[in-house]
Structure 1
Amino acid sequence: MHEAPIIMLGGMRFDLSIILMLIVSCTVVFLIAKLATRNMSVENPGKLQNFMEWVIEFVQNQVAGTMDMKKGRPFVTLAVTLIMFIFVSNMLGLPFGIVMHPHSAEEATIFGQPIITAVEAFNSAAAAGQEPHVEIAFWKSPTADVSVAMALAAMIFILVHFLGITKNTKAYFKHYFEPYPVFFPINLIEQFSSLLTHGMRLYGNIFAGEVLISVILKLAAVNVVGMIASIPLMAIWQGFSIFVGAIQAFVFTILALVYISQKVETHDEH
């Protein structure tokens, strides 16, 4: 497995690959939205404008399917941003990778700072008397990192409960004691388990895909037979990964809308 380019600044650990990829994801989504709305036309819409209109219409239908549209309209923009950001993030690790191959702990530096994960790997190999082989990955899908996936889930978790407390206070607190007060601990655990499954589902699927891609690439480096066999395997898996990335972006977004609807609507409205 590749090491993450983690450095220490001010006593805190910073993963440079995650920072880089989040910036790239935000930039790509911003450029798509900007280009799609730059020259909007009713008579002769461009391909990007048609694409954005399709995405917005698709998301509006999903919002309408989970809650009353009068209450759901403010969340359309959130859902569009989520589905586009997560899809782009899921796709970034597919086309190529940027990997650094330092030959010693002294070479494992960036911006004058040691990459602590690489240094630890070199020290561990030296202590075990093994030949060190360290690879540092700078380009990958940010959603293949558990901290990013769980941060997205935590953002939705906080928003959902904030909306429940502020928009539907009585029903929100009443829910924890239904159908009987003795169910309060179970209902509380349910809320935190939804946070865990929301983030881990996204992380697990994208991380597994990138692991398999790295396995196929290692197969190509074995010999000529492995290289020939890896070509169709890579093509098939890349296509399947696009499908999985799109599905996971949809699932994450639709679950976010479901969680929001459960908190902003009363039982009578369902």
Structure 2
Amino acid sequence: MHEAPIINLGGFNIDLSIVTMLIVTSLIVFILARLAVRNLSVENPGKLQNFLEWAVEFVQGIISSTMDLKKGKAFVSLGMTIIMFIFVGNLLGLPFGIVTEYSEPGHKVFGQEIVSVNADAFAELHDKKPNEEHLEIGVAWWKSPTADASVSMGLALIIFVIVHFLGMTKNTKAYFKSYFEPFPIFFPIKLIETFSNFLTHGMRLYGNIFAGEVLISVLLGLGVASIPALMAWQAFSIFIGTIQAFVFTMLTMVYISHAIENHAEEHH
């Protein structure tokens, strides 16, 4: 795998590829949404409007399968944003990649040295490959943002905060009571379950998209003979990217439902 274009800014390591891809993903989602509602028509809706209406109905279907739609309508915008952002983000790394090769240290971006190709990075590479004369470090500038653990876990963290904030504010008594049911001794287990839900929510997305891009990199390294396999895998990756966007959104609505619905009332 290639290195990330990291610069140190104010004591923080900033991955420029992730920042770039998050901006690109957001712009694509915004443009698609804007185009879909630009010329709304009841009698003669355009293709994008039809797609948007289908997407809204699809998200409403996800929500209605997890909670009362009267309560869930407030989360349609959230669901649409999540599923579109993750779907677009998952697919960005499939069409092509942008990689630059560096044979010496000292390269800068915005006046800041690229940490991943500094003198220490080349020294470490030389220690690993002492017999090679011409050492190069590849830096990837274009990839799926969800193929980075920090992005996937960041998305999961946002949902984690939203879910538990909703639980504490909209269903306070039942929310806190659920941690001690059916017996108070289960409280540590409920905490572990809560943390594991957060962890698996993000890592599932990251693992699937990252693994797909790793295999694409391997196939690209095999040359012309790998083109049929590459095309087949890219088609399969579109399917995987779509499924992962659906799964992430579905789990989000399941967690919200568990937080805001008083399930104890259902047993009365």
Q: Shorter-chain-normalised TM-score: which range?
A: over 0.9
Answer yes or no: is 1:153 the counterpart of 2:156. yes
Any idea what SS the aligned residue of 1:66 has?
Answer: coil
Any idea what SS the aligned residue of 2:3 has?
Answer: coil
Shift of 1:117: 1.5
Q: 2 CA distance for matches of 1:202 and 1:49?
A: 28
Match of 2:5 in 1: 5
Answer yes or no: is 1:244 the counterpart of 2:240. yes
Q: 2 CA distance for matches of 1:20 and 1:59?
A: 28
Query: Map of 1:118-157 to 2, 5 A cutoff?
Result: 118-119=117-118, 120-128=120-128, 129-131=130-132, 132-157=135-160
Query: Map of 1:10-159 to 2, 5 A cutoff?
Result: 10-106=10-106, 108-119=107-118, 120-128=120-128, 129-131=130-132, 132-159=135-162
Any idea what SS the aligned residue of 2:180 has?
Answer: coil
Q: Is the 8 A contact 2:104 2:136 kept in 1?
A: no
Q: 2 CA distance for matches of 1:87 and 1:179?
A: 38
Q: 2 CA distance for matches of 1:149 and 1:115?
A: 24
Change in 2 beyond 3 A, CA 1:73/1:130: farther
Q: Which moved more, 1:96-105 or 1:119-128?
A: 119-128
Match of 2:203 in 1: 200
Q: Deviations over 1:29-88 (max 9, x none)?
A: 000000000001000000000000000011011111110011101000000110000000
Q: 1 CA distance for matches of 2:75 and 2:65?
A: 13
Q: Is the 8 A contact 2:153 2:202 kept in 1?
A: yes
Per the normalisation by structure 2, the TM-score is 0.95
Runs of 4+ in 1 over 3 A off after TM superposition: none
| Matching residue's letter, 1:49 | Q
Shift of 1:127: 3.7
| Matching residue's letter, 1:25 | T
Shift of 1:109: 2.3
Unpaired segments of 5 or more residues in structure 1? Answer: 221-226
The number of aligned residues is: 262
Any idea what SS the aligned residue of 2:29 has?
Answer: helix
Shift of 1:141: 0.2
| CA RMSD, 1 decimal | 1.1
Shift of 1:183: 0.6
